[in-house]
Amino acid sequence: MLAIALDCYVQVEVEQASSLIVRSEGEGAGLFHDASHLAARVAIEVVGHDRLAVTVRSQIPVSRGLGSSAALAAAAAAAAGAEDPFTIAAAWDGHPEYAAASVFGGLVAATMIDDQAHAARLPLSEELAFVVIVPDRPLATADARRVLAHTISRADATFNLGRMGLLLAGLAEPSLLTPHATADRLHQEARTALFPEAPGLLDALVAAGALATCWSGAGPSLLGITTESALPSVHSGAEGALTASGVPGRVLRLRADRKGLVYGDEAERPN
């Protein structure tokens, strides 16, 4: 549905080689065998053979609800020469909004229409910044999905539609953004069974000055949306709350990325 691109990056290089080699550095390094590595699978699909050396350098924590797979798939598709990395990444990842944010940057709405990913940019204020609590505890998408009921009440669906309108207004104009805008009845409460400390951490983000908060994707990462001026206090409040909760993890301070996918010399961002 909605996603925001933040300035936390993955870089992929694809070169010709005599047989498949995958090198990975940073987040996710060593987690996957070469042939099963998402970057390799996407690059092989695009190029049509596996005589490739694929190098991945990632800043994006894996399996934390931060969209690392979509970003990786988009970067791998682009590095392999795909004409439409967005469509490829959305198909591999199954989350068109993560793929859209990775490719187009900024705030995006995206959805599948007749098996085709569609995306559109929406206004995102320059005044906003983001604090992300990243627990050192993966939460598999399959688990996060299993706790959700297949049917919901019309009232709950209407509730979320109403809040989504307020949220998009608040992301365009932060003076309108309040914690009500991210109130949710469709997934966060059910998923709290998998991460019982989450409500307390979300409350702590608001207490420290965040305008609104939500789970990042299916979790376990938690997002605080804040003004640039409140960023230091929200960041330190989040660090204190995370320590107090006993949940191992870290807190990132991030800004929106408005460029999305970049190629070649432009793509020097990961160190």
The residues of the shown chain that bind its own copies, judged by CB under 8 A, are: 1-2, 109-113, 118, 120-123, 148-166, 168-170, 172-173, 176, 180, 183, 186
* Cβ pair 149, 190 in contact under 8 A: yes
Nearer Cβ to its own copies (82/177): 177
Nearer Cβ to its own copies (37/163): 163
CB atoms within 10 A of CB 111: 15
Closest distance to its own copies from the beta carbon of 189 (Å): 14
Nearer Cβ to its own copies (29/112): 112
Nearer Cβ to its own copies (109/254): 109
Closest distance to its own copies from the beta carbon of 229 (Å): 21
Residues 235-243: contacts with CB under 8 Å, at least 24 apart: 235/131, 236/208, 237/204, 237/205, 237/207, 237/208, 237/209, 238/131, 238/133, 238/201, 238/204, 238/205, 238/208, 240/204, 241/133, 241/200, 241/201, 241/204, 241/205, 241/208, 242/133, 242/135, 242/201
* Cβ pair 4, 101 in contact under 8 A: yes
Nearer Cβ to its own copies (160/245): 160
Nearer Cβ to its own copies (61/170): 170
Closest distance to its own copies from the beta carbon of 185 (Å): 10
The residues, ordered by sequence, that sit 6+ positions from 257 with a Cβ below 8 Å of its Cβ are 5, 6, 7, 9, 105, 106
Closest distance to its own copies from the beta carbon of 170 (Å): 7
The span from the CA of 249 to the CA of 241, in Å, is 11
The span from the CA of 170 to the CA of 150, in Å, is 30
Closest distance to its own copies from the beta carbon of 117 (Å): 11
Distances (CA, A) of 237 to 46, 73, 190, 205: 44, 34, 25, 7
Closest distance to its own copies from the beta carbon of 149 (Å): 7
Nearer Cβ to its own copies (225/267): 225
Which among 112, 109, 87 has a CA at the least distance from the CA of 97?
Answer: 109
Closest distance to its own copies from the beta carbon of 215 (Å): 15
